[in-house]
Amino acid sequence: MTSTRTIMHLDMDAFFAAIEQQDHPQWLGKPVVVGADPKGGKGRGVVSTCSYEARAYGIRSAMPISKAYRLCPTAVYVLPRGHRYAEVSRQIMSLLREFSPDIEQISIDEAFVDITSTQKLFGGAEKMAKEIKSKIYEKTKLTASIGIAPNKFVAKIASDLRKPDGLVIVSAEEMPSFLAPLEISRLWGVGLKTVPQLQAMGIYTIGDLARYSQQQLIERLGSIGAHFWRLANGIDDRPVAETDMVKSISRETTFPEDVEDAAQLRDCLLYLCDDLSYEMRRKRLKGRTITLKIRLEDFSTFTRSQSLGHTTDICEEMFRCVEKMFNNFDRGGKRVRLLGVAMSQLQGSEVQLELFAEEDEKRTKLDRVMDQVRQKFGSDAIQRAGLLHKKHDSDWIRER
Ligand code: TTP
Ligand code: MG
């Protein structure tokens, strides 16, 4: 058994919408929807988030913007301003660092903080949480919801329970009775497919699940059964660690035969950037540093990195930088065995696939069109013009 920890989970309330309301005080108290342009109900794209006033009309994140418009045509509709939200996010995260060095940011408005050792300095967990909330409010005029529990899983549920402006503290002793009445959909990993499967076993709440033995659950559900059993019994030893967050994301290719031709190598790099940027947009990540990896025929391996000065998930921008590093690399006449492209210094990107900020509109148009085609037809359906003359792309072995 590990000794008891105290883990805090903080999640800002209606984050993008609350910032818009603060920046436009005339919108305070009104339904505000951040997302795609509704175009009088004909708009495509989705809701990013909305104020609690808009939630009263049934509007939710990820809902088609046309549906939101039907539910409340008089709401204030605004396009997302990613840079502004990222700026406020940085303010909040640096404020949290004044309270504990053990912070794991998991999205733009959300972080875990291990306060096991620092809570005493602030007179206990509750006082510390209240101070964090008021410091955030002082600085940004925004409200946060906080959950505190012996582990990440329960802390995250707790922060969600009394939103907005909530504070829920669950002690180790309270954990079983806290978890028991909650719906099983709250368990990490229980998706739309698993719910009916569990219900067929008479499991509707976390308490129902906790009454099964671990062995029974493994027999019925496979190895995921053990995971559900552990969570349902309040067992979650995952540490709060920045390393938990994806540090980098990459694509690389080993050629079936070593390649000499620079044009073919450049095409391959474009292909890798394209694939990588698509994955980043899908995962809502942007990166600041790009790395090129080259392995030559004699297995000597080199990397070249460059910071872009800002974060991006745009293929064109990534490729331009990689191409430059590639052109400057002297391979001494040797052929290339492997090429790779990686992005690091990642941040959660603020907008969904179909919701690029206005200033990025032009640059990302091609990316967006390709994303839509891929989503429709699968990832091999489309390739960039630079690749179109290639017949043998599929010969490249993709290593993930
Ligand atoms: P959330 O914390 O999930 O939502 P929220 O902060 O708007 O509201 P809540 O009070 O329920 O926490 O997400 C944080 C931000 O991420 C949100 O303000 C907008 C963005 N986001 C999207 O762009 N699309 C989505 O589908 C979701 C869920 C969030
Ligand atoms: Mg939030």
Note the residue count of the chain: 400
The average confidence (pLDDT) of the chain is 86
Any idea which of 34-48, 239-253, 373-387 has the lowest mean pLDDT?
A: 373-387
Q: Which ligand is nearest to the CA of 85?
A: 1
Q: Give yes or no for residue 351 having a pLDDT over 50.
A: no
Mean pLDDT in residue range 28-42: 95
Best substitution site from 10, 61, 353, 356 to test ligand 1's pocket, by max atoms within 8 Å of Cβ?
Answer: 61
| pLDDT recorded at residue 107 | 80
Residue 194 — pLDDT band, cuts 50, 70, 90?
confident
| pLDDT recorded at residue 250 | 87
The finding on whether 89 has its CB within 6 A of some atom of ligand 1 is no
Q: Which neighbouring-strand residues pair with 250?
A: 342
- Tell me the backbone φ, ψ of residue 23, rounded to 5 degrees: -75, -20
| pLDDT recorded at residue 246 | 57
Q: Is 213 exposed, middle or buried (0-12, 13-18, 19+ CB in 10 A)?
A: exposed
Residue 353 — pLDDT band, cuts 50, 70, 90?
very low
The finding on whether 164 has its CB within 6 A of some atom of ligand 1 is yes
End-to-end CA distance of the chain: 36
Residue 35 CA: which ligand 1 atom is closest?
23
CA distance 390 to 351: 33
Give residue-wise pLDDT tens across range 59-86.
999 889 999 999 999 999 999 888 899 8
SS3 content of the chain, % helix, strand, coil (to 5): 40, 25, 35
Residue 193 — pLDDT band, cuts 50, 70, 90?
confident
214-240 burial, b at 16+ Cβ within 10 Å, e below that, comes to: eeebbeebeeebebbbbbbebebeeeb
Q: Give yes or no for residue 17 having a pLDDT over 70.
A: yes
CA distance 257 to 297: 9
Give residue-wise pLDDT tens across range 93-148.
999 988 988 888 888 899 999 999 999 999 999 999 999 999 999 999 999 999 99
Share of the chain above pLDDT 70, in %: 85
The finding on whether 162 has its CB within 6 A of some atom of ligand 1 is no
Tell me the torsion sign for CA atoms 184, 190, 192, 197: negative
Q: Give yes or no for residue 277 having a pLDDT over 80.
A: yes
Expressed in angstroms and rounded, the spacing between residue 156 Cα and the centre of ligand 2 is 11
CA 93 to chain centre: 16
| Neighbouring C-beta atoms of residue 399, cutoff 10 Å | 11
Beta pairing, strands 285-296 & 336-348: antiparallel
| pLDDT recorded at residue 198 | 94
Any idea which of 108-112, 185-189, 263-267 has the lowest mean pLDDT?
A: 185-189
The finding on whether 274 has its CB within 6 A of some atom of ligand 1 is no
The finding on whether 48 has its CB within 6 A of some atom of ligand 1 is yes
| pLDDT recorded at residue 400 | 31
The pTM score is: 0.67
Q: Active-site residue numbers? A: 110
Q: Give yes or no for residue 255 having a pLDDT over 80.
A: yes
Q: Which residues contact 321 (CB under 8 A, 6 or more apart)?
A: 290, 306, 308
